[in-house]
């Protein structure tokens, strides 16, 4: 970063003087106008896909009232990739729509049908190509509101990346918040609005961009190609029973973190990817493989694209396990299987895709995969967990066979559970190299058909309960090594309170820099350590500073337009307060982006990523959004 020079071997005097001499003035110049949408922390991942209608009924955390519906309140939602949700009772979603793009018939439906809330209902894609995902958050404002966020979607066949958020409130209010751009690219018109369905008569199209009111319990607007008059805005609906009043507003002031500081590192005793449906699992797993190689107290984990070529078909000498829906069986390999926790003389095979080291099964007869149950496991185990049914007519069997130093356990065309039964065979294989302990997961065929409500979990858990590192995308995450649960936190920047400008009063915002590695990783702490804040009127996606000697550290600011010294301090945390003035300098609707930098002792040799010749670490970025309140 400009103005910072270090010499290897110490936290240099140059670095100290550079940080201490930085101006404390906010030379902000022209401040950028911000949009209302904030999806920096969108909540729990639901999934992604093209036209995916997620089967899970997600709890709102409260009873949501809606006039004119088949029931007075609803406690859950089902979510669709195409920008809308259905309200449910947690079990039923009658007449769940299947249209990629809606018509007025989808607004009216029939008596008893589930209500629909439409943030931007049309044919949307949330795919890995555009890093698109759907999230739900019922925990940040529990019992009061629940947010569903569609992040980085594109219209089918189009390229503009957009995001939006729906928020349902216990009061029955609904808010949609949109990114910029949002203009309709395709020819088919999206719907925005709310309908109780239940056979209601379709009302005339409303103009949602201006405050208005309707006595109909159904309110909506459709948008022609090239139009959308709500980009960068928030649209709020308030029920008046019957009917709605609506107006456009902007999100509250906030301080939102983005990006990641350096250096963070973690070791997890367990890892997993949780799929909301067989279709999502099939899209990721089929044709691929995963390798776990013993490494110290854990496994080195490596994704193998197109690794299904490693699949070894069972021979006539293979043993078919007795068929049983949700059963388990213990086998004894010819030699103990090498493993980080000690050689395993027996393996327990659960018919639902779990192999546990030892005679006792994890989740033995459980056919409903959940992360919580997975993390609470008592035995070390390998998971390709789903509800399989080898007793179904026409199903293949689970087969075991030893050859060439490997134990193969193969689900050889085993059917997924379905009522009524349909042909959806799964063919995958665990390959255990007995002497080395290497484990291959090989997915030759993963049926996408699935059964409503059945989810899928893939991963490994060591013996004993594990810390939840969250569901990871195995196909894209870099290789890693499991081990005892341990987390080293990166340099982190936060701020409070959110900046408010009402034209008369500004806000004194305190910025806090935590996890200062020079303090945390040096002992004894006898010298002060120095940090600084850099401020900008724009953000960047993150420029790696490896080219100047700080690999793995990123700059998240568009330009370094002002700086403020922080410290010195002899503790792991430093703070500085900045006044956000009222008036035109930092007006409502503006953003300021901030990032911290801190000195490190390059001689300590204790950083998780090794030496850093530049002698600095950087924090996450922080977006400070100013509003009038």
pLDDT of residue 468: 83
Reported residue count of the chain is: 629
Say if residues 86 and 54 touch (Cβ distance below 8 Å). Answer: no
- pLDDT per residue as tens digits for the range 346-400: 999 999 999 999 999 999 899 999 999 999 999 999 999 999 999 999 999 999 9
Q: How confident is the model at residue 59 (pLDDT cuts 50, 70, 90)?
A: very high
- pLDDT per residue as tens digits for the range 512-544: 998 876 554 444 444 556 788 999 888 887 888
**Largest Cα–Cα separation, the chain:** 84
- pLDDT per residue as tens digits for the range 275-307: 999 999 999 999 999 999 998 888 999 999 999
Say if residues 457 and 282 touch (Cβ distance below 8 Å). Answer: no
Please enumerate in sequence order all residues whose Cβ is within 8 A of that of 104, keeping only pairs 6 or more positions apart, or say none: 202
Rounded CA separation 552/611 (Å): 11
Cα-Cα-Cα-Cα dihedral sign, residues 317, 318, 319, 323: negative
pLDDT of 239 > 80? The answer is yes
Q: Is 334 exposed, middle or buried (0-12, 13-18, 19+ CB in 10 A)?
A: exposed
The values of phi and psi at residue 434, to 5°, are -60, -40
3-class secondary-structure state, position 77: strand
- pLDDT per residue as tens digits for the range 603-623: 554 444 445 778 888 999 998
User: Would you state the structure tokens that stand for residue 463, as one six-digit string?
Assistant: 């013996």
Rounded CA separation 614/5 (Å): 7
* Stretch among 49-53, 300-304, 476-480 having the lowest mean pLDDT: 476-480
Closest CA to 156 of 183, 116, 188: 188
pLDDT of residue 21: 28
Q: Does 56 or 541 have the greater pLDDT score?
A: 56
pLDDT of residue 188: 84
Say if residues 57 and 93 touch (Cβ distance below 8 Å). Answer: yes
The values of phi and psi at residue 519, to 5°, are -85, -50
Rounded CA separation 492/489 (Å): 8
3-class secondary-structure state, position 556: strand
**Within 13 Å and on the Cβ side, how many CA atoms surround 218?**
21
Closest CA to 560 of 5, 38, 20, 29: 29
Q: Does 602 or 510 have the greater pLDDT score?
A: 510
The rounded Cα 13 to chain-centroid distance in angstroms is 42
- Rounded to an integer, the average pLDDT of 131-159 is 93
pLDDT of 225 > 60? The answer is yes
- Rounded to an integer, the average pLDDT of 114-118 is 97
User: Would you state the structure tokens that stand for residue 225, as one six-digit string?
Assistant: 């190609």
Please enumerate in sequence order all residues whose Cβ is within 8 A of that of 372, keeping only pairs 6 or more positions apart, or say none: none
Alpha helices in 432-526 (DSSP H): 517-520
CB atoms within 10 A of CB 12: 17
Say if residues 338 and 294 touch (Cβ distance below 8 Å). Answer: yes
- Averaged confidence pLDDT in the chain: 85
User: Would you state the structure tokens that stand for residue 283, as one six-digit string?
Assistant: 């899209």
- Rounded to an integer, the average pLDDT of 315-322 is 95
* Stretch among 133-147, 176-190, 306-320 having the lowest mean pLDDT: 176-190
pLDDT of 70 > 80? The answer is yes
> Going edge to edge, which strands form the sheet with 354-357?
270-275, 456-461, 381-385, 354-357, 347-350, 328-331
Rounded CA separation 61/144 (Å): 8
pLDDT of 130 > 50? The answer is yes
The values of phi and psi at residue 565, to 5°, are -70, 145
pLDDT of residue 521: 45
User: Would you state the structure tokens that stand for residue 109, as one six-digit string?
Assistant: 């439906």
Q: What is the DSSP string of 406-434?
A: EEEEEEEEEEBP-SS----EEEEEEEEET
User: Would you state the structure tokens that stand for residue 152, as one six-digit string?
Assistant: 């980085």
3-state SS string for 134-196: EEEECCCCCCCEEEEEEEEEEECCCCCCEEEEEEEECCCCEEEEECCCCCCCCCCCCEEEEEC
Rounded CA separation 406/397 (Å): 19
CA angle 109/113/117 to nearest 5° reads 80
pLDDT of residue 502: 67
> Going edge to edge, which strands form the sheet with 319-320?
319-320, 398-403, 406-415, 425-433, 439-445, 289-295, 298-304, 480-481
pLDDT of 7 > 50? The answer is no
Share of the chain above pLDDT 70, in %: 87
pLDDT of residue 555: 93
Dihedral of the CA atoms 600, 602, 603, 608 (nearest 10)?
Answer: 90
**What is the enclosing helix (H) or strand (E) of 372?**
helix 371-375
CB atoms within 10 A of CB 207: 10
- Residue holding tokens 């669709």? 80
Closest CA to 290 of 458, 47, 49: 458
Strand locations in 361-501, DSSP E?
A: 381-385, 398-403, 406-415, 425-433, 439-445, 456-461, 480-481, 486-488, 492-496
pLDDT of 486 > 70? The answer is no
Which range scores top for mean pLDDT: 21-35, 290-304, 482-496, 556-570? 290-304
3-class secondary-structure state, position 521: coil
- Rounded to an integer, the average pLDDT of 252-259 is 80
CA angle 120/254/248 to nearest 5° reads 40
Please enumerate in sequence order all residues whose Cβ is within 8 A of that of 111, keeping only pairs 6 or more positions apart, or say none: 70, 198, 199
pLDDT of residue 595: 95
Domain ranges of the chain: 13-34+255-263+489-625, 44-249, 280-487
Please enumerate in sequence order all residues whose Cβ is within 8 A of that of 259, keeping only pairs 6 or more positions apart, or say none: 542, 554, 556, 620, 621
**What is the enclosing helix (H) or strand (E) of 44?**
strand 44-47
Measured in Å, how far apart are the chain's first and last C-alpha atoms?
36
pLDDT of 30 > 70? The answer is no
- Rounded to an integer, the average pLDDT of 326-330 is 94
Cα-Cα-Cα-Cα dihedral sign, residues 323, 328, 331, 337: positive
**Within 13 Å and on the Cβ side, how many CA atoms surround 321?**
28
- pLDDT per residue as tens digits for the range 399-448: 999 999 999 999 999 999 999 999 999 999 999 999 999 999 999 999 99
* Stretch among 269-273, 297-301, 505-509, 567-571 having the lowest mean pLDDT: 567-571
């Amino acid at each position: 970063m400009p103005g910072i020079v270090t010499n290897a071997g110490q936290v240099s005097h140059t670095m100290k003087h550079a940080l201490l001499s930085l101006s404390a003035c906010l030379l902000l110049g022209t401040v950028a106008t911000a949009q209302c949408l904030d999806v920096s922390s969108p909540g729990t991942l639901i999934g992604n896909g093209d036209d995916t209608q997620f089967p899970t009924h997600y709890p709102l955390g409260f009873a949501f009232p809606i006039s004119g519906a088949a029931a007075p309140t609803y406690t859950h939602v089902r979510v669709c990739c195409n920008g809308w949700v259905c309200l449910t009772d947690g079990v039923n979603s009658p007449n769940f729509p299947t249209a990629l793009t809606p018509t007025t018939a989808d607004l009216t439906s029939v008596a008893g049908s589930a209500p629909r809330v439409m943030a931007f209902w049309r044919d949307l894609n949330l795919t890995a190509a555009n890093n698109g995902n759907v999230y739900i958050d019922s925990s940040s404002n529990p019992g009061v509101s629940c947010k569903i966020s569609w992040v980085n979607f594109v219209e089918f066949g189009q390229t503009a990346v957009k995001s939006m958020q729906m928020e349902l409130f216990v009061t029955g209010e609904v808010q949609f918040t949109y990114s910029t751009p949002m203009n309709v690219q395709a020819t088919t018109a999206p719907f925005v609005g709310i309908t109780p369905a239940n056979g209601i008569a379709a009302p005339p199209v409303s103009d949602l961009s201006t405050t208005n009111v309707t006595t109909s319990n159904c309110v909506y607007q459709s948008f022609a190609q090239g139009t959308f008059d709500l980009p960068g805005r928030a649209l709020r609906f308030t029920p008046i029973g019957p009917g709605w009043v609506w107006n456009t507003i902007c999100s509250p002031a906030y301080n939102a973190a983005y990006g990641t500081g350096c250096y963070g590192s973690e070791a997890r005793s367990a890892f997993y990817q949780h799929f909301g449906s067989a279709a999502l699992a099939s899209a990721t797993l089929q044709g691929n493989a995963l390798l776990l190689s013993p490494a110290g107290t854990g496994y080195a984990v490596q994704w193998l694209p197109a690794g299904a070529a490693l699949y070894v078909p069972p021979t006539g000498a293979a043993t078919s396990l007795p068929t049983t829906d949700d059963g388990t069986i213990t086998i004894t390999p010819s030699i103990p299987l090498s493993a980080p926790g000690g050689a395993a003389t027996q393996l327990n095979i659960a018919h639902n895709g779990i192999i546990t080291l030892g005679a006792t099964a994890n989740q033995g007869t459980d056919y409903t995969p959940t992360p919580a149950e997975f993390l609470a496991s008592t035995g070390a185990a390998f998971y390709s967990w789903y509800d399989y049914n080898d007793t179904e007519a026409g199903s293949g069997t689970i087969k075991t066979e030893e050859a060439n130093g490997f134990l193969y356990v193969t689900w050889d065309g085993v059917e997924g559970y379905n009522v009524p039964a349909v042909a959806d065979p799964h063919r995958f294989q665990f390959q255990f190299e007995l002497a080395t302990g290497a484990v291959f997961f090989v997915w030759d065929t993963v049926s996408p058909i699935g059964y409503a409500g059945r989810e899928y979990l893939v991963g490994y858990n060591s013996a004993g309960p594990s810390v939840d590192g969250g569901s990871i995308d195995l196909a894209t995450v870099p290789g890693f090594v499991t081990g005892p649960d341990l987390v080293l936190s990166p340099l982190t920047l936060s701020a409070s309170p959110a900046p408010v400008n009402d034209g008369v009063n500004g806000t004194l915002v305190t910025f806090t820099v935590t996890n200062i590695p020079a303090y945390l990783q040096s002992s004894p702490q006898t010298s002060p350590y120095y940090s600084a804040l850099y401020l900008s009127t724009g953000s960047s996606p993150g420029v790696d500073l490896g080219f100047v000697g700080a690999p793995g550290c990123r700059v998240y600011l568009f330009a370094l337009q002002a700086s403020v010294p922080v410290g010195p301090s002899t503790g792991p945390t430093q703070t500085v307060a900045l006044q956000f003035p009222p008036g035109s300098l930092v007006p409502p609707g503006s953003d300021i982006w901030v990032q911290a930098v801190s000195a490190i002792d390059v001689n300590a040799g204790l950083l998780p990523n090794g030496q850093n010749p530049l002698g600095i670490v950087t924090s996450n970025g922080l977006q400070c959004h100013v509003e009038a309140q």
